[in-house]
A and B are shown apart, each in its own frame.
Chain A
Amino acid sequence: METEPPAIECRGLARYFGERTALREVTLKVPAGASLAVLGRNGAGKSTLLRILASLLRPHAGEVLIFGEPLPRRAWAVRARLGLLGHEPLLYRELTGRENLDYHARLHRVPAERVTEVLAAVDMDRRAEDPVRLLSRGMVQRLAIARAVLHRPQLLLLDEPRANLDPGASELVEPLIGRAAGVTRVLTSHDPRAALAEADLVLALKSGRPVFAGEPTAFDDRRLAELYA
């Protein structure tokens, strides 16, 4: 019987920007359907890791496999299964929310009805015809979430997904990007306790190097305090 490959597998992953080491010796395995919280101070390498997993950055050393497919060689085979919500919303400011989502839907060959569906899911259907430049940050973030889940990805890479969202909006997007979404997730958060609460696995990074990888129950307050000290 064929076993399902892990959603993410990294072995000895490293990435440099010039002489600066952004990531090194990152080894992890995330089973399909699990949630991984990536913790660390600003500049620890969290966003770099997410961009490598999204196939937007090449690793300089080590191996990365997404759903069993090696990156970047077979990135084309997994791109349709990935959804990235990064610091940038990846939306054109001069286009309306609907036009932006239509554009992404066409690129991903998603039916137009799905655009209406996700706009309603993030409660942006009434402002869908406004140019993105006229929307508040929270609204833009909701549109960015709609963009990230538009093509029903099986792996969500979420970099500070609830940034700029008020508690109501945060609750609203829960079925799309929370545990209830039922997909594999990698998430970073400015609120490590909230990230730990919704994670099955934790990867703690310090200056690009893993200092903890395991279950959240083993990541106690002392470790958390040390990580952010």
Chain B
Amino acid sequence: MRTALIVLRKDLRVELRTLETVPAMVLLAVVTFVIFHFGLNRATIDGQLAAGVLTATLLFAAVLGINRLFVAEREQGGFDAFLLAPVDRSAMLLAKAAALFLFLSALEVIAVPAFALFLLGPPLGPALPGLILVLALANLGLSVIGTLLAAIAVQTRARDLIGPVISLPLLIPALIATARATGPLLTVHTSGSPPGRWLAILGLYDLVFALLAYAVFDFLLED
């Protein structure tokens, strides 16, 4: 945990100094909402359609973050520096997943109100507590899988292409569960609580991939 915090602190410092990842994710999300606004030719949307638009947009923005997660490590020797230190390799997984989780949360702090402004019909307020819970679970899954796949993609020459190509299919179950859990929240007469079944599926998905990532991550870092 100590090593993970050291790496996370360094990652956040690099991001705050460069502002390369989160602003790009936010920009993509906002532009996508605008595109949907005109593409759907509707002033407002709600229910499952709204949930689908929000989830798909966040997913595409997440792919940008996933693609950039290990760039500094690869290009500036961060992998070698980390591997030369007498530390547990899994700390890198934990740190990178935590960084991605924070990047996604920062994205959503801006993107969700922007979505409400550009597209959402019903008021956001009643849905917000439930939406935060769903998005937190979704972020967890995206972070773990994103970190695992970014670590694979960054070892390849065509990493910018490989990242989205392998991450998007694997993230489809998370997309479905997130959209289905979010749909009932984005209606006029929402109860404010997401369907437990889809939350459970999302939680199970997170757990399975967290265990898988923990099991294989060390092998991805080593030669």
Interface size class of B (residues with CB under 8 A): 20 to 34
Question: What 1/0 flags go to A90-109 for Cβ under 8 Å of B?
Answer: 11111100010001101110
Tell whether A120 is near chain B: CB-to-CB under 8 Å.
Answer: no
Tell whether A34 is near chain B: CB-to-CB under 8 Å.
Answer: no
Would A93 and B86 count as touching, CB distance under 8 A?
no
Would B82 and A95 count as touching, CB distance under 8 A?
no
Residues of chain B lying within 8 A (CB to CB) of residue A86? 77, 80
Query: What's the nearest-Cβ distance from chain B to residue A176, in Å?
Result: 17
Residues of chain A lying within 8 A (CB to CB) of residue B42? none
Would B84 and A82 count as touching, CB distance under 8 A?
yes
Q: Which of A55, A58, A72, A90 is B81 in contact with, Cβ under 8 Å?
A: A90
Q: A72-B222, A107-B85 are in contact. Are A92 and B6 (CB under 8 A)?
A: no
List the interface of chain A (C-beta within 8 A of B): 54-58, 72, 76, 79-80, 82, 84, 86, 88-95, 99, 103-104, 106-108, 131, 147
Residues of chain B lying within 8 A (CB to CB) of residue A94? 14, 17-18, 72
List the interface of chain B (C-beta within 8 A of A): 3, 6, 10, 13-14, 17-18, 72, 76-78, 80-87, 222-223
Would A91 and B76 count as touching, CB distance under 8 A?
yes
Most buried by A among B6, B13, B76, B77: B76
Would A92 and B14 count as touching, CB distance under 8 A?
yes
Would A92 and B76 count as touching, CB distance under 8 A?
yes
Q: List 18 A-B contacts (CB under 8 A).
A: A57-B223, A58-B222, A79-B84, A79-B85, A82-B84, A88-B77, A88-B80, A90-B76, A90-B78, A91-B76, A94-B14, A94-B72, A95-B14, A99-B13, A103-B6, A104-B85, A107-B6, A108-B85
Residues of chain B lying within 8 A (CB to CB) of residue A54? 84
- Whole-angstrom CA separation of A79 from B82 in the bound complex: 11
Would B84 and A56 count as touching, CB distance under 8 A?
yes
Residues of chain A lying within 8 A (CB to CB) of residue B17? 94-95, 131
Q: A56-B223, A58-B223, A103-B10 are in contact. Are A92 and B78 (CB under 8 A)?
A: yes
Residues of chain A lying within 8 A (CB to CB) of residue B80? 56, 84, 86, 88, 90
Residues of chain A lying within 8 A (CB to CB) of residue B78? 90, 92
Given pairs A91-B77, A94-B14, 20 additional interface contacts (CB within 8 A): A55-B84, A56-B83, A56-B84, A57-B223, A58-B222, A79-B84, A79-B85, A80-B86, A84-B80, A88-B77, A90-B77, A90-B80, A91-B76, A92-B76, A94-B72, A95-B17, A99-B13, A104-B81, A107-B81, A107-B87
